[in-house]
A and B are shown apart, each in its own frame.
Chain A
């Protein structure tokens, strides 16, 4: 029997990640792409990359996660759609079964997942503010004209990090400018920023929670060695960055897809790699039939409607039979 492969897709605010695992949970393909506000385009690009990697690859199951998980699921045909918290936890546990704490910082959200005895015990996600997430670091790197990849190296060169107000992204930026103008060095400011963000994360998400070792750090921001150092300093614990740290969500989705397909013995709903060749269009309409003014979104593939959502009453998305019959006629 030929080997089985499973695809995991994580469509996030900043990055779109695709991974393929084999039936021994090893990563055979990984692609980290910038979403650039165009999730469908980046997803199709990812699929094209996969075709380029091995077009004969037979995918036996697909899982999607991330804020764009529903959108991704209609494009690729997913066997399982899972929230990113569960996907991240599943992935971290696979690589480090004894893990107790997961710190995840992505493009626009940050999560803290607490595990005990191998199950998710508690979690927290940033609520009203995105200060301290990847997008903010990105913007600061751009402002300082430092490639984001080198951000961490700079931080580690600091002799004494300066204190930056990290509660709010706008104020943090003002504070950084102020510190620059008083003459502090770049390395000290960057190290200070990393510490401020780590502090902000712990104040916002870890309040009243016990962060037990082993602790893992994942998400795009974990690539930043300055942030890793800042968390180690703040928590006085060793922080582990696992090998697939930047695609953990997708890895988790692939693992979940594998479990689902193998346990249910069903054929995959995967639409094939050629699905990226179709021409996708989205159509948003504001329904005016009642005061809810729902923003309805339709997704078209080669002019054919393949999905629709956003309405509260089900009139467009077809969950309400009465309306489906009307629109069909």
Chain B
């Protein structure tokens, strides 16, 4: 059995650690590229959302490297993502790709089924070890997100543009050859200290933008066309609430264990959307409100074409934008999205934010 899993941002680091700790044979698909998307688009329905296309492409690339079993997460959030695992399996069967998809979820709350599936992967069952490793990699996911957070801050303040990015890219590449929790902790520590040494000019007052929207497009740098890096290099401070560790802790662990979950966004979204309607719509609306309350300059919503929950959120955001006086730009991505048009909108949005800030500054000076 040679295991693989589709890419989603830095998820590969966590999955790799888990598989290394159990000394399983696996292969990581290459970072997504135009080729990944081309393969994915060829075999998925035209109307399917972009993450399905990219993940199918990723799995086929892994199959070319010898993988025969893929790990996926499921989920019962009422959005098409919950069916990805089934769709992927059917598509792979149809094209004669010999790969089995094991979905790590407890179907209809059947925890034993989940354990049986894990047992099949880990070949045997060592519950204390499983719990220990899961705790370790959860902590690791939090640390990895911290690295990302430092990068987002660094990019907007750094004196030599591109320094942070170089360290971050190095980190992503080195992660491929780092095995096990212990080694990973070392890599994270080294990267953190490198990032902390980057020379920053803290006198600047960069524009602050919050990113909201569908989770895959939010987390995966390829899918959002490296928007955060680009904004960072334009000297803009970017923040995002939706992260991998948040997803693991809040949406997987706490949900499965029926623990109380932190939902500050739900309270924030209440005047506009008072219930969970699937996907990350409630988060999108709630986070936009939260950014407005923290005096962010603007919000960018990103979602893949056809994402139903986000379409609903997009319909609500103009109201939030007027009520709380925060500009919102919506970017819809699909496999056809031309980079030029996308950047034109972002650049115009930045001009808009800068002009607004100048006016506010002038007014406060006049007073």
Interface residues of A (CB under 8 A from B): 67, 82-86, 109, 117, 119-123, 125, 127-128, 208-209, 290-293, 319
A residues less than 8 Å from B334 (CB atoms)? 128
Other-chain residue from B33, B318, B336, B344 in contact with A125 (beta carbon distance below 8 A) = B344
CB-nearest residue of chain B relative to A117?
A: B359
CB-nearest residue of chain A relative to B331?
A: A127
Other-chain residue from B30, B34, B318 in contact with A293 (beta carbon distance below 8 A) = B34
**Does B352 lie within 8 Å of A293, measured CB to CB?**
no
**Does A128 lie within 8 Å of B34, measured CB to CB?**
no
Nearest Cβ on chain A to B325's Cβ, whole angstroms: 10
B residues less than 8 Å from A293 (CB atoms)? 33-35
**Does B34 lie within 8 Å of A86, measured CB to CB?**
no
Other-chain residue from B33, B348, B349 in contact with A291 (beta carbon distance below 8 A) = B33
| Bound-state Cα–Cα, A291 to B318, Å | 39
Other A-B pairs, 4, CB within 8 Å; known A123-B352, A128-B336? A82-B351, A86-B347, A291-B35, A292-B33
Other-chain residue from A83, A121, A127, A290 in contact with B348 (beta carbon distance below 8 A) = A83
Other-chain residue from A67, A122, A208, A292 in contact with B344 (beta carbon distance below 8 A) = A67
Instruction: Confirm or deny: B124 has a beta carbon within 8 angstroms of a beta carbon on chain A.
Output: no
| Bound-state Cα–Cα, A67 to B327, Å | 24
B residues less than 8 Å from A127 (CB atoms)? 332
B residues less than 8 Å from A208 (CB atoms)? 315, 318-319
**Does B341 lie within 8 Å of A125, measured CB to CB?**
yes
Nearest Cβ on chain B to A296's Cβ, whole angstroms: 13
A-B contact pairs, 28 of them (CB 8 A): A67-B341, A82-B347, A82-B351, A83-B347, A85-B345, A85-B348, A86-B347, A86-B351, A117-B359, A119-B355, A119-B356, A120-B348, A120-B352, A120-B355, A121-B327, A122-B321, A122-B352, A123-B348, A125-B341, A127-B332, A209-B318, A290-B33, A291-B34, A291-B35, A291-B36, A292-B33, A293-B33, A319-B162
3 closest Cβ pairs, A-B complex: A85-B348, A291-B33, A208-B318
B: contact size bracket:
20 to 34
| Bound-state Cα–Cα, A208 to B330, Å | 13
Nearest Cβ on chain A to B227's Cβ, whole angstroms: 14
**Does A119 lie within 8 Å of B348, measured CB to CB?**
no
| Bound-state Cα–Cα, A292 to B318, Å | 36
**Does B344 lie within 8 Å of A85, measured CB to CB?**
yes
A residues less than 8 Å from B352 (CB atoms)? 119-123
Instruction: Confirm or deny: B340 has a beta carbon within 8 angstroms of a beta carbon on chain A.
Output: yes
| Bound-state Cα–Cα, A131 to B103, Å | 42
B residues less than 8 Å from A67 (CB atoms)? 340-341, 344
B residues less than 8 Å from A209 (CB atoms)? 318
**Does A120 lie within 8 Å of B345, measured CB to CB?**
no
Instruction: Confirm or deny: B188 has a beta carbon within 8 angstroms of a beta carbon on chain A.
Output: no
Other-chain residue from B36, B305, B347, B355 in contact with A128 (beta carbon distance below 8 A) = B305
| Bound-state Cα–Cα, A23 to B55, Å | 56
B residues less than 8 Å from A84 (CB atoms)? 344
| Bound-state Cα–Cα, A208 to B322, Å | 10
CB-nearest residue of chain B relative to A67?
A: B340
B residues less than 8 Å from A123 (CB atoms)? 348-349, 352
**Does A125 lie within 8 Å of B345, measured CB to CB?**
yes
Q: Which residues of B333-367 are within 8 A (CB) of A?
A: 334, 336, 340-341, 344-345, 347-349, 351-352, 355-356, 359
**Does B344 lie within 8 Å of A119, measured CB to CB?**
no
CB-nearest residue of chain A relative to B35?
A: A291
| Bound-state Cα–Cα, A120 to B327, Å | 10
Nearest Cβ on chain A to B346's Cβ, whole angstroms: 9
B residues less than 8 Å from A85 (CB atoms)? 344-345, 348, 351
